[in-house]
Amino acid sequence: MTFVLGIDGGGTSCRAALATADGAILGRAKAGAANIRSDLTGARTNIVEAARQAFLAAGEDPDLIPQTPAVLGLAGANVGTYKQQLEAILPFSRSSVETDAEIALEGAVGSGDGAMAILGTGTAYMVRKNGKSRPIGGWGFQVGDQGSGARIGRDLLEQTLLAYDGVREPSPLTAEMMGVFRNNPQDVVEFTTNAKPGDFGGFAPKVFDYAAKGDAVATWIVDKAVADVEASLGVLGLEAGDPLCLLGGLAPLYAPRLSERHRALLKTPLDDALGGAVRMAVRMFAAPVEAAR
């Protein structure tokens, strides 16, 4: 075995990295979506195409694909039998399909124990203790993802309408929001009817901005979000010395607001999720070879 492949696949695109058996990345490439829940064969096609292109980007021969092992991190890999179904039809010498969270954690903290919090449009957590991973949260916008950008934006629109009705005190932020919607609450409702989590999440940075300036409604929303994130971090069972990485667009906004206990554990991520897939491929498929040298 000369090479390993790392694959990071998601609903919008699929990235691949070709690396040497000791993890040095030689080439990267990108192909279409790899959504194993809605289109398994389409996902396979894009995964193989990304792998092929990574070989070409590295100046290597894609005909080596059947001799190359791969670790794939894919959203939804923990649901039903998608993992087994996909592994059965992949062309790599060996394939290990993991969740997207699993490769992100490996990228962030490496192969040892540690934890990550993904704080973006959604929120999700994963902790690894004695080599065993445990996911927390990530149940989506409607009934989960507390502290996410989507939930913060949704909270803001809710509080804006309550202020409009006089049920809560307005603030500079709710006044600005009513302006955004032409002072027409019906326009807010219209927006929310078709808004995707990312649309709600677009308002989150503004909420953090206003909270920093002391806006009462923004402060209320951010305080609640921080408490929700702290509650989830609390069940990870982290001890002094365990690395904790914050990922996602809201990570830098949350970091200074966390409790001292959790701030003390914060570490810069070692690598991104694609790098995590490569690291895991080296660990799973190449490490014994290394050890035998």
Site residues for a copy of itself, 34-53, by CB under 8 A, read: none
The identity of residue 11, as a single letter, is: G
Q: Residue-wise over 81-119: b if at least 16 C-beta within 10 A, else e?
A: ebbeebbeebebbebbbbbbbbbbbbbbbbbebbbbbbb
Subset of residues 213 to 252 that bind a copy of itself, contact rule: CB under 8 A:
231-232, 234-235
Residue 225 identity:
A
For residue 146, which phi and psi values (nearest 5 degrees)?
-55, 135
Supply the minimum distance, in Å, between the C-beta of residue 124 and a copy of itself. Answer: 11
The yes or no reply on residue 136 touching a copy of itself (CB under 8 A) is: yes
Residue 121's nearest CA partner among 98, 101, 94, 147 is 147
CB of 292 to a copy of itself, least distance (A): 40
Residue choice 24, 63, 132, 165 for contact with a copy of itself (CB under 8 A): 165
Residue identified by tokens 């993992």 is 83
Lateral strand order in the sheet of 123-129:
132-137, 123-129, 114-119, 244-247
Q: Which 57-86 positions form the footprint of a copy of itself (CB under 8 A)?
A: 79
140 lines the binding site for a copy of itself (CB under 8 A)? yes
Residue 185 in the binding site for a copy of itself (CB under 8 A): yes
Q: How far is the CB of 170 from a copy of itself (least distance, A)?
A: 13
Report if residue 133 touches a copy of itself, rule: CB under 8 A: no
**One of 58, 157, 178, 204 touching a copy of itself (CB under 8 A):** 157
Dig out the tokens for 195 from the structure.
Answer: 């808004």
Residues that bind a copy of itself (CB under 8 A): 79, 136-137, 139-140, 142-144, 146, 154, 157-158, 161-162, 165-168, 185-186, 188-189, 192-193, 195, 231-232, 234-235
